[in-house]
């Protein structure tokens, strides 16, 4: 081998050991890709939101359908007596201020519930008499008149006697309703009477002048803003409103005279706006007797001729739809600050009241 070939051999790279040979070594494992969790969580959240939305829409649809159809969902609850007895005495409740308050998603308020209970008792042939539980200072003129009409209608069309069991308070509009019944039984500590009409108005003109506020009213006629709290009432306007009050007062007295079998002269003596204790009311002929609920029930059974009748009352079972509709009504209420002068659930408007009011504050429903 020449010197040139030896030099070439010396410059060749050495072959690494095992080159060109099959080895038994295992290649390193390929790293696994981590799965992303957030897309799954987002999908689950969207499904939950969609499910809740469908449930709310279903509840609202069912509630609206029930409200429009108007069926009563009241159920009977046994108070006393033999559960197997067929004949019944129904207890109907009239408690709190008599206000025709209607919510956005259904009816509410003692007025509506009392009307529904009276209608339920009237339509049930097994109900032989009604015991009306009254514990109310009165309320709106029209609402009181409607309830009195319902009581009379129940008696005249069905022949079922109605006995009032008066609790702590049965004044003004509540007494107006009570005179439509066959008998009035007052609790020994009850107060009643207060025959009269009331209208409360506020004059805030002086306050507005102090804080630098002025009211600008555009009206089509002279008396369109009669009773406005932002200005003094004129003598003519006072006379006009007083005329309406006098008319409603006359209707109140006529209703009492007819319901209690009194002369107009006697009612005039009693209709001075005062309240009466149970004993005073009994002596004046405003009520028939003093007693407790069991006494009123006994009177109802006697008038109906059903001594073995069971006593029931009406109640509304809890429904999921009521929970949702009450929440929706709260969300739908205006988001504004309202100074509620009367205490009624609606903003203050001029109201004629058959109501016993302490001072100038009208209690809420």
Distance CA 111, CA 92 (A): 12
Nearest to 251 by CA among 119, 145, 138: 145
E strands, the chain, where? 75-80, 88-95, 127-136, 138-140, 162-171, 183-186, 191-193, 275-277, 289-290, 310-315, 353-355
Distance CA 327, CA 246 (A): 42
User: What 3-state class would DSSP assign to 212?
Assistant: coil
Instruction: Write down the catalytic residue from 86, 123, 219, 224.
Output: 224
Distance CA 62, CA 328 (A): 14
Instruction: Write down the catalytic residue from 172, 178, 228, 321.
Output: 172
Active site residue 224: yes
DSSP for 53-87, written as a single string: HHHHHHHHHHHHHHHHH-----EEEEEES-TT-S-
Question: Positive or negative CA dihedral for 84, 85, 87, 93?
Answer: negative
Active site residue 284: no
If you compute the radius of gyration of the chain from its CA atoms, what whole number of angstroms results?
38
> Would you please indicate which residues are annotated as catalytic (active-site) residues?
172, 224
């Amino acid at each position: 081998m020449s010197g040139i070939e030896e030099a070439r051999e010396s410059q060749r790279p050495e072959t690494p050991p095992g080159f060109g040979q099959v080895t038994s070594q295992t290649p390193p494992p390929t790293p696994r890709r981590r799965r992303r969790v957030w897309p799954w969580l987002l999908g689950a959240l969207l499904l939950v939101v969609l499910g809740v939305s469908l449930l709310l829409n279903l509840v609202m649809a069912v509630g609206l359908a029930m409200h429009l159809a108007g069926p009563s969902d009241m159920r009977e609850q046994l108070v006393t007596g033999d559960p197997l007895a067929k004949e019944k005495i129904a207890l109907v409740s009239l408690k709190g201020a008599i206000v025709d308050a209607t919510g956005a998603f259904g009816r509410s308020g003692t007025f509506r519930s009392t009307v529904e209970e009276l209608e339920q008792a009237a339509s049930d042939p097994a109900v032989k008499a009604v015991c009306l539980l009254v514990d109310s200072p009165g309320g709106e003129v029209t609402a009181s008149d409607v309830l009195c009409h319902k009581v009379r209608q129940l008696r005249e069309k069905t022949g079922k006697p109605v006995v009032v069991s008066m609790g702590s308070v049965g004044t003004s509009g509540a007494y107006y309703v009570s005179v439509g019944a066959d008998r009035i039984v007052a609790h020994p500590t009850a107060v009643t009477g207060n025959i009269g009409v009331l209208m409360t108005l506020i004059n805030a003109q002086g306050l507005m002048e102090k804080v630098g506020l002025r009211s600008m009213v555009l009206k089509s006629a002279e008396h369109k803003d009669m009773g406005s709290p932002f200005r003094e009432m004129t003598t003519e306007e006072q006379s006009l409103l007083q005329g309406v009050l006098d008319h409603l007062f006359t209707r109140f007295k006529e209703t009492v005279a007819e319901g209690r079998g009194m002369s107009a002269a006697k009612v005039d003596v009693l209709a001075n706006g005062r309240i009466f204790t149970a004993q005073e009311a009994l002596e004046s002929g405003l009520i028939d007797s003093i007693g407790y609920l069991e006494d009123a029930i006994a009177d109802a059974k006697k008038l109906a001729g059903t001594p073995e009748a069971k006593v029931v009352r009406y109640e509304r079972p809890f429904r999921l739809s009521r929970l949702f509709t009450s929440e929706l009504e709260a969300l739908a209420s205006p988001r504004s600050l309202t100074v509620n002068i009367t205490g009624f659930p609606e903003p203050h408007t001029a109201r004629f009241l058959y109501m016993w009011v302490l001072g100038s504050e009208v209690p809420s429903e």
